[in-house]
Amino acid sequence: MPLKTSHCNSCLFKTICDRTIGKEDFDDLYRSTTFQIFRKGEIILRQHMKMSNLVFLHTGIVKFCYNNYGKDIILTIDKAPTLLGLANYLNNNVNFFSIIAIEDCEGCMIDEDVFQRILTNNPSFALQALNSFTNMFRQSMQSFISLSYNQVQGRIANILVFLSKHIYESSVFRLPLTRKEIAQFAGCSTENVINTLRKFDHDGIIRINGKEIEILDEKGLQLVCRMG
């Protein structure tokens, strides 16, 4: 609870809201939120569960998981700051998928009723929420296309580019996923991930050392995305 106070003064969510909703509405929203820490591996939203919360993620990285007849699939990765649960909210609060912390995260639980009230009273806030949803949709679309119509090499190359550009914004980063999780993301076997990553290393496109990854030849990697 003391954390909440210290955070909220500089809270990005507040900053965003300030531009689109009034002080009164924000205070309403504010009173309904509770600060929460999620440890690595913890489930923030669980697939098929009915939720009455959205979560504004302040720090951390999460994975969107879908369990398909017992098989786990990773749909996408997202990082703070971001609003989680919008797609679920639009789906009668029944969660499409699970959202799981892949590193320690901090977030604020937002009451769904309050959120709904503000949404219907503030066209510009609604529009912004819609925009955020559209962006997620477009991102999903891109993954979708990469995953469905490329070979494994192209899919893994796409995942590396995605992590580099959208999550870490750097050509050097520490893989947040295990090889098995990359396989669940790329829709292939774990061995295939290992072999493909090693091939990229041998070809001089990336340098890999355990979980440390450096993209050496971005143009080459982009080419694999398209052709692979």
Positions that interact with DNA (CB under 7 A): 151-153, 175, 178-180, 187-192, 194-195, 197-198, 208, 210-211
Q: Which residues pair with 109 in a beta bridge?
A: 34, 55
Asked whether position 144 contacts a second copy by CB under 8 A, the answer is yes
Q: Which does 170 bind (CB under 5 to 8 A by kind): DNA, a second copy, none?
A: none
Angle at the Cα of 226 (from 220 to 228), degrees rounded to 5? Answer: 80
Q: Which amino acid, one-letter code, is at 221?
A: L
Q: How far apart are CA 26 and CA 156, in angstroms?
A: 42
Binding mask 23-52 for a second copy (x = CB under 8 A): ------------------------------
Among 3, 41, 48, 137, binds a second copy (CB under 8 A): 137
Buried b (16+ CB within 10 A) or exposed e, 118-135: bbeebeebeebbeeeeee
Tell me, what DSSP letter sits at residue 51? Answer: -
Among 6, 123, 178, 207, binds a second copy (CB under 8 A): 123
Q: Which does 189 bind (CB under 5 to 8 A by kind): a second copy, DNA, none?
A: DNA
In degrees and rounded to multiples of 5, residue 54 shows phi and psi of -110, 165
Contact indicator for 104, 42 with CB cutoff of 8 Å? no
Min CB(159)–a second copy separation in Å: 12
- Where does this chain bind a second copy (CB under 8 A)? 66, 68-69, 71, 73, 75, 87, 90-91, 96, 120, 123, 126-127, 130-131, 133-134, 137-138, 140-141, 143-145, 147-149, 187, 226
